[in-house]
Structure 1
Amino acid sequence: MSSDTLAYRGTNFIGGKEVPAQNGSTFLSIDPLTGKAWGEFAQSSASDVDAAVADAHTVFEGPWRRLSATGRGRLLMRWGDAIAEHGDRIAELDSAQNGKLLAEVRAQARAARDWLYYFGGLSDKVQGAVIPLESASTFNYTTYEALGVVGTIVPWNGPIFLTVMSVAPALAAGNTVVIKPSEISSASALELAQLAIEAGIPPGTVNVVTGARETGEALVDNPLVRKIIFTGGDAAGRAIAARAGGRLIGCTLELGGKSPNIIFADADREQALAGVLAGIFAGAGQGCLAGSRAYVHASIFEEFIERLVSRASAIQIGSPFDPLTQMGPIATQAHLDKIHGMVQRAVEGGATLRCGGGKASVDGLPKGCFYQPTILTGAAPDSELMRDEVFGPVLAIAPFSQFDEVVRLANDTRFGLAAGLWTTDLRTAHRCAKELRAGTVWINTYRAIAPASPFGGMKDSGLGRQNGIDSIYQYMQVKSVWCELDEGIADPFLMKV
């Protein structure tokens, strides 16, 4: 806590130490409740990124690489315990910066321990294989080895949770990491890195550089970085993949979504209503897996909309620190303006507002970035509202009559991150889940996630998967080792095949 009006001052965290930007540059983060400056952070240049990566590389080649897989796993678990212990304090920092409900951020901070326990336990479960060959005198086996330094670029909408979800498999695989958090919400990453030291993880294993786009680009371009993890918009993901591809390094990209919620005629109405509300209005719709499109069977369409509008209009908007608040502010004024612009263009294009559609007023917070829960009908299937990610509390809803019709509508998007469907018919449920082109399909639920279950998108929603056993292999490379046991001399001019 600073002595002036700012609530937080943060520097880079490199090699276990707080390090200001080499050129002394800083930037301010803005409180979305008041519109006032909340914190000051280092504006890192390429030289700062290079220093962090060099330190991470040194530690990778030294103490972290010499540590046993079991030892790594135990340290990750201790880190998870430390985060859980200090979770309330870190959650308060996140809520102050991005406006997410304190209760939800606290829950995500506690869940971080589950992720670190899962991948900590997985650290020493990665096994190579002995390859059976025709030649009895040749011994061939495989091992899995870490890549080196992994750069991770984290968005602002779930910094604690998404940071841990990104770095846990990378560290469990034996890599070191350099984290570049969003300039909108940088504080929690710095706190997490401090706690890694307290947990006994060697200094330099987990580093943080703060800054804007140029900082992220420097991280992608650094020749010692061997993989990039990015969570964010698909346009930025494409740019990162192109830069990384120029250096022939891999990416795990968890990008945007335009996820559908499908409500069949036989769905449990109360379950479906709660699921649609959770899908789009939880977190003020600022989530990649937001269910921003809903398709409701024509036989229940108007009834369902009437009840949904009534529920949405009653959502309590306010400070994320108020336990009665159900929806907090939009993270920035610029993003609020973007959301409102998309809604206005949709109405101008023929869509009908059923509720919301403008900035919300909250007593005592006149400069807060609040937006009303918004529901629209009548948007054309090929319109911006039905095609592009809003990343806000805006739901486009349309009727359907036939199974094949709704599958076609749900899949008619360049995204494929998630989908939800609501029905009491098991055959309908599993037929639909099979047909939907999405990385995650929820049946009679929404926004469920676990460390053991893979998460990621199809189509423009990304590359690779986070979570689950297979994800750890994305941060490793396989090595094939051959050993000739026969003492005879082989013909030097013939390949052994």
Structure 2
Amino acid sequence: MPIFEYAPAPESRAIVDIQPSYGLFVGGEWIEGRGAAFKTTNPATEEVLADVAEASVADVDAAVRAARTAYTRVWSRMSGADRGKYLFRIARIIQERARELAVLESLDNGKPIKESRDVDVPLAAAHFFYHAGWADKLEYASLGPKPRPIGVVGQVIPWNFPLLMLAWKIAPALACGNTVVLKPAETTPLTALLFAEICQQAELPAGVVNIVTGAGATGQAIVEHPGVDKIAFTGSTEVGKSIARSIAGTRKRATLELGGKAANIVFDDAPLDQAVEGIVNGIFFNQGHVCCAGSRLLVQESIAEEVDRRLKRRLETLRVGDPLDKNTDVGAINSRAQLDRIAELTAAGEAEGAVRWDTGCELPSHGFWFRPTVFTGVSQTHRIAQEEIFGPVLSVLTFRTPQEAVAKANNTPYGLSAGIWTEKGSRILWMADQLRAGVVWANTFNRFDPTSPFGGYKESGYGREGGRHGLEAYVTTGDPR
């Protein structure tokens, strides 16, 4: 097939004004952090972008106190209609500053600009628009009698979708009348800090949203703070378990959205070209840095060779490189630590006997990069079939019957998502009922909407985000005592 050459089409960085250093956003103002500063870098070039303050325990305490003051004096007393006006205003500002946010996200995270531009930023705005509409309708959301806010919510988000995960967390919390102390990931803090500016631009009351930056110790200080009423966390299963242990026996509530090892299941009657696009989107979107990525491909045995041929042909057309180039399909791995983790697990896959194939494309000389990779001959016991790689690596297994597909798909400690590719509607419904996954896509993959709940089972966590179900985590019901 012909290979088309693409001239570079870089997005300009000029729209983004990155400060040399950033403090903490507490009580509606910027303050100096008491901890040591750390650097955030561009993973595509290893260029230092800015120095960022590391919040200490005392800084977290100040943020929680600011959130409590805003909650008791202003936000919980405000009508739902007035709260909704602020959320609508934030959503509109996100749209107005969409290009700035997209460029900053790609610089700090390493994801292709076309993904941050066309997926992350529009979905972030959509979450604020959607939840703004719920702010004055909570009594009609079937949440229970007299729904009211919980109080101060501590939120810790990951580095794979920094702005989008912020929107998933902050929008429902504010719509329900809570105030927030949020910690972005230490490798991707810049869009959260820009969001603090958006809160100021929207004239959000001081202390309703507080943003403290730092690493694990800062997150732990939020989790353990006695003034926090609820924890919302997205990240690794290991850290999620630690949070659950930490708050056990306290009055704190929690929602945990953790790891995944999703099965993408292709039957012999599936539309193969469509399925191949779904496979590619399922695992190579955002460099595989997706908790619900379709990292295990289960193909019916009779079409395995044909799917393998079409998939590899498609992967050879993917362009790996500069995240700010509008032609780029696969960007940079977010950090050296994550690249090392991917390399460790792929080496284990080869050592255990799986057959490795990658595109062989040329990689940039600087930054953190990994070629789109496929393993065939994978067995259920291989580490690459059981552990979350969180990178552009696909493990291929085969099956003969729907029952075998279900057994293999469910043979994992995770239960976040799954995909089914078949023309038979009855098979889709039967499979969806059998699969132990919180989200099941049919003839598509990685499709998100703020109206639809998202969350998992088993070691993928508990609770739901998005939709009416996602509101439940941010309200309490019944008469206050």
TM-score by length of structure 1 reads 0.90
What is the aligned counterpart of 2:25 among 13, 30, 45? Answer: 13
1:479 equivalent in alignment to 2:478:
yes
Structure 1 equivalent of residue 5 of structure 2: none
Q: Measure how far apart 1:15 and its partner are.
A: 1.0
Secondary structure, aligned partner of 1:43: coil
Q: Measure how far apart 1:480 and its partner are.
A: 3.0
1:220-231 map, 5 Å = 220-231=223-234
Q: Does the 8 A contact of 1:77 with 1:113 survive in 2?
A: no
Secondary structure, aligned partner of 1:252: strand
Secondary structure, aligned partner of 1:118: helix
Structure 2 equivalent of residue 68 of structure 1: 79
1:113 is aligned with what amino acid?
A
Q: Measure how far apart 1:481 and its partner are.
A: 7.2
- Looking at structure 2, the residues matched to 8 and 205 of structure 1 have their Cα atoms a distance apart, in angstroms, of 26
Q: Does the 8 A contact of 2:263 with 2:296 survive in 1?
A: yes
Structure 2 equivalent of residue 326 of structure 1: 329
Q: Measure how far apart 1:8 and its partner are.
A: 4.4
- Looking at structure 1, the residues matched to 177 and 322 of structure 2 have their Cα atoms a distance apart, in angstroms, of 41
What is the aligned counterpart of 2:289 among 286, 291, 295? Answer: 286
- Looking at structure 1, the residues matched to 157 and 250 of structure 2 have their Cα atoms a distance apart, in angstroms, of 21
Structure 2 equivalent of residue 120 of structure 1: 132
Q: Which stretch has the larger CA shift, 393-402 or 473-482?
A: 473-482
1:391 equivalent in alignment to 2:390:
yes
Structure 2 equivalent of residue 241 of structure 1: 244
Structure 1 equivalent of residue 374 of structure 2: 375
Cα deviations by residue, 1:56-110 (Å, 9 ceiling, x for unpaired): 0000000112211110011111111011111211221111111011121123212
1:330-341 map, 5 Å = 330-341=333-344
Q: Does the 8 A contact of 2:34 with 2:54 survive in 1?
A: no
Q: Does the 8 A contact of 2:384 with 2:395 survive in 1?
A: yes
1:122-271 map, 5 Å = 122-127=134-139, 142-271=145-274
Q: Does the 8 A contact of 2:123 with 2:450 survive in 1?
A: no
Structure 2 equivalent of residue 111 of structure 1: 123
- Looking at structure 2, the residues matched to 421 and 50 of structure 1 have their Cα atoms a distance apart, in angstroms, of 47
Q: Measure how far apart 1:244 and its partner are.
A: 1.9
Pick closer, same or farther for the CA change 1:391–1:8 going to 2, 3 Å.
farther
Q: Which has the larger radius of gyration?
A: 1
- Looking at structure 2, the residues matched to 258 and 446 of structure 1 have their Cα atoms a distance apart, in angstroms, of 14
1:347 equivalent in alignment to 2:346:
no
What is the aligned counterpart of 1:309 among 297, 309, 312? Answer: 312
What is the aligned counterpart of 1:41 among 52, 57, 66? Answer: 52
- Looking at structure 2, the residues matched to 294 and 316 of structure 1 have their Cα atoms a distance apart, in angstroms, of 22
Q: Measure how far apart 1:312 and its partner are.
A: 1.4
Q: Measure how far apart 1:18 and its partner are.
A: 1.0
2:465 is aligned with what amino acid?
Q
Pick closer, same or farther for the CA change 1:16–1:374 going to 2, 3 Å.
same
Secondary structure, aligned partner of 1:428: helix
Q: Does the 8 A contact of 1:227 with 1:249 survive in 2?
A: yes
Number of equivalenced pairs? 464
Pick closer, same or farther for the CA change 1:206–1:481 going to 2, 3 Å.
closer
2:462 is aligned with what amino acid?
L
1:254 is aligned with what amino acid?
E
Q: Percent identity?
A: 38
1:102 equivalent in alignment to 2:113:
yes
What is the aligned counterpart of 2:41 among 30, 33, 43? Answer: 30
1:50 equivalent in alignment to 2:61:
yes
Which stretches in structure 1 are left out of the alignment for 5+ residues?
Answer: 130-140, 483-497
- Looking at structure 2, the residues matched to 414 and 276 of structure 1 have their Cα atoms a distance apart, in angstroms, of 22
Structure 1 equivalent of residue 451 of structure 2: 452
Cα deviations by residue, 1:363-409 (Å, 9 ceiling, x for unpaired): xx411211010000112202211011000000000111111001100
Cα deviations by residue, 1:159-209 (Å, 9 ceiling, x for unpaired): 111100111111111000011000000011111122122113101101100
Structure 1 equivalent of residue 6 of structure 2: none
- Looking at structure 1, the residues matched to 78 and 273 of structure 2 have their Cα atoms a distance apart, in angstroms, of 52
Cα deviations by residue, 1:242-278 (Å, 9 ceiling, x for unpaired): 1122423111111110001000000001110000000
Q: Does the 8 A contact of 1:16 with 1:194 survive in 2?
A: no
What is the aligned counterpart of 1:83 among 94, 97, 113? Answer: 94
Q: Does the 8 A contact of 1:128 with 1:142 survive in 2?
A: no
Structure 2 equivalent of residue 491 of structure 1: none
Secondary structure, aligned partner of 1:189: helix
1:476 is aligned with what amino acid?
V
Q: Measure how far apart 1:361 and its partner are.
A: 3.8
- Looking at structure 2, the residues matched to 404 and 72 of structure 1 have their Cα atoms a distance apart, in angstroms, of 49
Structure 2 equivalent of residue 137 of structure 1: none
TM-score by length of structure 2 reads 0.93
Aligned alpha-carbon RMSD (Å): 1.9
1:60 is aligned with what amino acid?
Y
Which stretches in structure 2 are left out of the alignment for 5+ residues?
Answer: 1-12
Q: Does the 8 A contact of 1:128 with 1:144 survive in 2?
A: no
Secondary structure, aligned partner of 2:478: strand
1:88 is aligned with what amino acid?
R
- Looking at structure 2, the residues matched to 91 and 339 of structure 1 have their Cα atoms a distance apart, in angstroms, of 26
1:340 is aligned with what amino acid?
A
Q: Which stretch has the larger CA shift, 40-49 or 239-248?
A: 239-248
Q: Does the 8 A contact of 1:94 with 1:159 survive in 2?
A: yes
Q: Does the 8 A contact of 2:379 with 2:397 survive in 1?
A: no
1:458 is aligned with what amino acid?
Y
- Looking at structure 1, the residues matched to 99 and 140 of structure 2 have their Cα atoms a distance apart, in angstroms, of 40
Structure 1 equivalent of residue 427 of structure 2: 428
Structure 2 equivalent of residue 494 of structure 1: none
Secondary structure, aligned partner of 2:388: coil
- Looking at structure 1, the residues matched to 293 and 469 of structure 2 have their Cα atoms a distance apart, in angstroms, of 25
Q: Measure how far apart 1:294 and its partner are.
A: 0.4
